[in-house]
A and B are shown apart, each in its own frame.
Chain A
Amino acid sequence: AQKITQTQPGMFVQEKEAVTLDCTYDTSDPSYGLFWYKQPSSGEMIFLIYQGSYDQQNATEGRYSLNFQKARKSANLVISASQLGDSAMYFCAMREDDTGRRALTFGSGTRLQVQP
């Protein structure tokens, strides 16, 4: 079974509007972390936001917020007030703590295109 599922290969959004990128995950570990990264065409991985499994509140970082629904195992990224520079690939990733494995497992990504 896929550990991280991103069902939207591509998304379009108008500049200045909000967009939600979906991510669901699968783990039996009670302790885990969820990440979102942005990858522009240059290839670098830019960290956006982190949510720990025990965090009570949804994480927010500027225009980015993570809609964490633990019972549904979803961790959707919300980008508010989209900008042209937000056009990129977005990856959801998970780290499972109980395995002692600190590496991240990535989803297949969503390509976001912001239109003027």
Chain B
Amino acid sequence: GAVVSQHPSRVICKSGTSVKIECRSLDFQATTMFWYRQFPKKSLMLMATSNEGSKATYEQGVEKDKFLINHASLTLSTLTVTSAHPEDSSFYICSAYLAGTYEQYFGPGTRLTVT
């Protein structure tokens, strides 16, 4: 199946700094990617839909100024957590939608720890 990568897999940062997470579709073009957040022992919650060449669509309650999403190419979407705080510590997972199919492919996730 198609492959989606995420980088970094783990990151520890200090409170107040910004962190960028990359999501790449390695062998297909993805006009739409999704960013999910998962707290420990909880389910995945959609944060935003990332559309190539246009602004991301954020879910209710997600601060767009805090979680900046850029989908500059058909194979790359980035999520930047700005001015991170300990409560932003979480597991962030992206997925890419293969157009014309029902299939969504998930990245391996990024574990963010803010100290």
Cβ proximity bits B101-113 to A, threshold 8 Å, 1 near / 0 not: 0111110110100
> Which of B44, B91, B108, B109 has its CB near the most chain A CB atoms (within 10 A)?
B44
Interface pair A43/B49, CB less than 8 Å apart = no
Q: Which chain A positions have C-beta within 8 A of B109?
A: 43-45
Interface pair B43/A107, CB less than 8 Å apart = yes
- Interface status of B46 (Cβ within 8 A of chain A): yes
Interface pair B106/A45, CB less than 8 Å apart = yes
What is the CA–CA distance of A37 and B93 in the complex, to the nearest angstrom? 14
What is the CA–CA distance of A102 and B111 in the complex, to the nearest angstrom? 24
Interface pair A102/B106, CB less than 8 Å apart = no
Closest Cβ–Cβ distance, residue A27 to chain B (whole Å): 15
Chain B interface SS verdict (over half)? strand
Interface pair B43/A102, CB less than 8 Å apart = no
What is the CA–CA distance of A105 and B45 in the complex, to the nearest angstrom? 8
What is the CA–CA distance of A105 and B34 in the complex, to the nearest angstrom? 12
Q: Which chain B positions have C-beta within 8 A of A104?
A: 34, 44, 46, 95, 104
Q: Which chain B positions have C-beta within 8 A of A35?
A: 104
Quick one: which of A47, A50, A91, A102 contacts B97, CB cutoff 8 A?
A: A102
Q: Which chain B positions have C-beta within 8 A of A91?
A: 43-44
Closest Cβ–Cβ distance, residue A25 to chain B (whole Å): 14
Interface pair A43/B104, CB less than 8 Å apart = no
What is the CA–CA distance of A107 and B32 in the complex, to the nearest angstrom? 22
Q: Which chain A positions have C-beta within 8 A of B111?
A: 43
What is the CA–CA distance of A95 and B97 in the complex, to the nearest angstrom? 12
Q: Which residues of B contact A (CB under 8 A)?
A: 1, 32, 34, 38, 42-46, 49, 91, 93, 95, 97, 102-106, 108-109, 111
Q: List 9 A-B contacts (CB under 8 A).
A: A33-B102, A43-B93, A43-B108, A45-B44, A47-B1, A91-B44, A95-B104, A106-B43, A106-B45
